[in-house]
């Protein structure tokens, strides 16, 4: 039976090859399913950055657990189940972060008398983020500032810098990953 529009030709064989560590088979699977899974996740998560992180997580787990795919009958369904589970995890994380942010905002309202201390903490936090950004490679810094400070979309940044939107996306993911790492390192 010929593959359907969304089915990968020789899918069973590619997953078997990937299970043995074949990077080319993994790359074919990734290239075929990447955009499909991204669109599904984007509908649920609603933000590009979070969707991109979930997609990366799915394919990282796929590679790390590739040996388990030798016993799977419906690879596509299993891959989408992985995407669904990773999306739920990401949504739970976002929910926890929003709840924490709400609690922080409420605490700030109740602590008006300690305004000076809070102002200093905010300035210190801003300073740490600024230091992290300054340590990014120059192109990554430019892309981050265009996205976060100027509010440009991935497409607008790509057009202005004459690079692909995927490059913009990847650079932003790496920038955010480094900033989080830097802040954890400075806090701990």
Cβ pair 122, 129 in contact under 8 A: no
Instruction: Give the number of other Cβ atoms within 10 Å of residue 109's Cβ.
Output: 8
Q: Where in the chain is the domain with CATH 1.10.10.10?
A: 118-187
pLDDT tens by residue, the chain, 188 residues: 334 455 677 888 889 899 999 999 999 999 999 999 999 999 988 888 888 889 999 999 999 988 887 778 888 888 899 999 988 888 888 788 777 777 777 776 666 555 555 555 667 777 878 888 888 898 988 988 888 888 888 889 899 999 998 898 998 888 888 888 888 887 76
Q: Where in the chain is the domain with CATH 1.10.1740.10?
A: 11-92
Q: What is the separation of C-alpha 74 from the centre of its chain, rounded to a whole number of angstroms?
A: 26
Q: How many CA atoms lie within 13 A of 15 on its CB side?
A: 22
pLDDT for 114 equals 57
DSSP state of 5: T
d(CA 175, CA 81): 29
CATH architecture of 11-92: Orthogonal Bundle (1.10)
Among 1.10.10.10, 3.90.230.10, 3.30.1490.20, 3.40.50.720, name the CATH number for the domain at 118-187.
1.10.10.10
Tell me the pTM: 0.53
Angle between the 115-134 and 138-148 helix axes, to the nearest 10 degrees?
140
DSSP state of 140: H
DSSP state of 114: G
């Amino acid at each position: 039976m010929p593959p359907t529009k969304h089915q990968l030709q020789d899918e069973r064989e590619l997953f078997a090859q990937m299970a043995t560590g074949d990077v080319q088979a993994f790359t074919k699977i990734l290239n075929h399913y990447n955009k499909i899974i991204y669109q599904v996740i984007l509908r649920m998560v609603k933000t590009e950055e979070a969707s991109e992180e979930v997609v990366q997580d799915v394919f990282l787990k796929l590679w790390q657990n590739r040996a388990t795919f030798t016993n799977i009958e419906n690879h596509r369904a299993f891959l989408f189940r992985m995407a669904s589970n990773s999306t739920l995890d990401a949504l739970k994380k976002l929910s926890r972060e929003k709840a924490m942010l709400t609690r922080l905002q409420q605490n700030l309202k109740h602590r008006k008398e300690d305004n000076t201390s809070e102002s200093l903490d905010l300035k210190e936090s801003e300073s740490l983020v600024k230091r992290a950004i300054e340590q990014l490679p120059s192109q990554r810094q430019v892309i981050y500032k265009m996205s976060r400070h100027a509010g440009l979309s991935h497409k607008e940044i790509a057009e202005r810098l004459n690079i692909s939107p995927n490059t913009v996306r990847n650079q932003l993911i790496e920038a955010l990953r480094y900033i989080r790492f830097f802040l954890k390192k400075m806090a701990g």
